[in-house]
Amino acid sequence: MRVPLWLALVLASTASVVAAATSAAPASAAPASAAPASAAPASAAPAKAGCDLAAADARAAGPGCARAWMDANLRLNDIVTMGTHNSYKQRQSAAEFALIAARNPQAAQSIDYGHRPLAEQLDAGARQLEIDVYYDPAGGRFAAPLGPALTGQTLPADYAATMARPGFKVFHIPDIDPHSSCLLFADCLRRIKAWSDAHPDHAPILITMNTKQDASPVPGGTGALPMTEDAFDALDREIRAVLPPAKLITPDDVQGAYPSLRAAVLANNWPTLGASRGRILFALDEPPGVVAVYRGRRHALEGRVLFVNTDESSPAAAYLTLNEPQELAARIAAAVDAGFLVRTRADADTVEARTNSTGRRDAALAGGAQYVSTDYLWPDMRFSPYTARLPGAAKALCNPRRAAARCQGLPVE
């Protein structure tokens, strides 16, 4: 694949990137057409004096003005950044892996990966995280997974006590893949919030969520509880209990006075980049039946915390999960051009890492999806040097379909 223009511009201007990053000024306030001004982070400050925020592109705004120009002229959906898949997941022990591989070698290979702690991923540039949750209102439902017991593995000393606490739990698969860097969803949120508070100028973080309802693959194991409307209400409450309104970007923030969320998105009513820095948005990555439970009788997503994965014609349309960047390239491009947020994947099931194949990754980065997920911010040298990051050590760049020419290769973050 040819190197896209936006990648070439970034690679050719690394020195300019460093200079712009060190001299950039804070953002100006969002214009009236964006999210309400009250939603802007408290750290937002006026643009640097002398910057031409009406300039045609970031470089023309004046010396040291690229950041201020981007914050005033770009919107949340005008970026591209990397993220991680199953961001909480820890690798299984050799014994647990062998147990699964003896029964299903392909399945075992597909889950043979793990991630560093969430803060390290964020430090490395992840601006999208994926968290799987299991409903556990009474606590203790998943405190004794069978996989470690069957293989003689010892869980951390506080595992059972932690899992006994009421609230949503975070892990991959019941009984066979229970290892997580943050077992409690509320704890995951607190860690993300702590990192965000310490880095208030970060590009907006998207947290995609799978609300698991799986049966255990182990006979006699413990499967998930159903995600009812009450369970989704509890999920929203758990998020709001950790993250205050000023930290969140919600569907209501984007919809504003428009008749539907979709109408607002098509009118480009996402908040400006400046108003989005230091903030977090959530998306429910589930099929239509689960999304319907979350929406209930709402016209769009009124009052809800999470955006939802839905088709482009829905009144609730704002976000799409389109994980195949090559097969779905045309749909991704059309959705991004229309104003929707898209998450795609650079790699999946350890395939690209085992073969050091970069075609899917390169297509994902060039295709326009704002959030590109990987299992390999760092290479797994058991397999190959394969990794997936933005070029030039950037944390976020201008979107290749929406804003690359206006940013002239300079980074968002």
pTM: 0.89
Tell me the per-residue pLDDT of 293-323, one tens digit each, with 9 for 90 and over: 999 999 999 999 999 999 999 999 999 999 9
Which residue is it, tokens 């002239």?
408
- pLDDT higher than 80, residue 401: yes
What is the tens place of the pLDDT at every residue in 243-271? Answer: 999 999 999 999 999 999 999 999 999 99
Q: For 64-110, how does the pLDDT look when each residue is reduced to its tens digit (9 = 90+)?
A: 999 999 999 999 999 999 999 999 999 999 999 999 999 999 999 99
3-state secondary structure the chain: CCCCHHHHHHHHCHHHHHHHHHHCCCCCCCCCCCCCHHHCCCCCCCCCCCCCCCCCCCHHHCCCCHHHHHHHHCEHHHEEEEEECCCCECCCCHHHHHHHHHHCHHHHHHCCCCCCCHHHHHHCCCCEEEEEEECCCCCCCCCCCHHHHHCCCCCCCCHHHHHCCCCCECCCECCCECCECCCEHHHHHHHHHHHHHHCCCCCCEEEEEEECCCCCCCCCCCCCCCCCHHHHHHHHHHHHHHCCHHHECCHHHHHCCCCCHHHHHHCCCCCEHHHHCCCEEEEECCCHHHHHHHHCCCCCCCCCCEEEECCCCCCCCCEEECCCCCCCHHHHHHHHHHCCEEEEECCCCCHHHHHCCCHHHHHHHHCCCCEEEECCCCCCCCCCCCCCCCHHHCCEEECCCCCHHHHCCCCCC
* pLDDT at residue 405 in the model: 94
- Tens digit of each residue's pLDDT (9 = 90 or more) over 338-360: 999 999 999 999 999 999 999 99
6: pLDDT strictly greater than 80:
no
In the predicted structure, residue 236 carries a pLDDT above the cut 70: yes
pLDDT in tens, 199-229: 999 999 999 999 999 999 999 999 999 999 9
pLDDT at 13 over 50: no
Q: Tell me: pLDDT of 1 over 50.
A: no
Q: What is the mean pLDDT of residues 48-72?
A: 95
Q: Which residues face 372 on adjacent strands?
A: 82, 344
Query: Is the predicted pLDDT of residue 25 greater than 70, yes or no?
Result: no
Q: What is the pLDDT of residue 15?
A: 33
Q: Check residue 49 and give its pLDDT.
A: 79
Cα gap 317→357, rounded to integer Å = 33
Residue with more model confidence, 18 or 239:
239
pLDDT at 239: 98
Distance between CA atoms of residues 48 and 46, nearest Å: 6
Among candidate residues 7, 5, 1, 2, the one with its CA nearest the CA of residue 389: 7
CA-only gyration radius of the chain, Å: 21
Two tokens at 166? 């009421």
**pLDDT above 90 (res 47):** no
State percent of the chain over pLDDT 70. 88
For residue 21, the model assigns a pLDDT of 33
CA distance linking residue 25 with residue 144, whole number of Å: 51
- The string of pLDDT tens digits covering residues 144-172 is 999 999 999 999 999 999 999 999 999 99
Distance in angstroms (rounded) separating the CA atoms of residues 125 and 121: 6
- Categorise residue 166: left if φ over 0, alpha if ψ from -120 to 50, beta otherwise: beta
